Amino acid sequence: MVNQTLSEEYAYFNEIKKELIKNYEGKYALIKGHNLVGIYDTDTDAYQVGIMQYGNEPFLIVKISQENEIFWIPTLELGLLDANNQ
């Protein structure tokens, strides 16, 4: 079951999924609202961009594949991220 917080993002992903699979299968999509923020080689790359752009707001990272894989990753507070980069 999809978390209601990300229902808009997940619905948008399903709208564009076929096109993404054609061009980016195996990569990771970062989605916020009805906006495809970017395509990334790893989920870690997508997560770092998501944290930098949206902080502790929810955003969706999904692997682009025929399979329906859903992973929940809690967001960090920016202070924790900044502390790790010093």
pLDDT per residue as tens digits for the range 5-50: 888 999 999 999 999 999 999 999 999 999 999 999 999 999 999 9
pLDDT digits 0-9 by tens, 45-77: 999 999 999 998 999 999 999 887 655 555 554
Where would I find the H helices in 1-86?
A: 7-24, 43-54, 78-84
Cβ atoms within 10 Å of 63's Cβ, excluding its own: 17
Report the predicted TM-score, pTM, of the whole model to 2 decimal places. Answer: 0.76
Q: Are 60 and 6 within 8 A, CB to CB?
A: yes
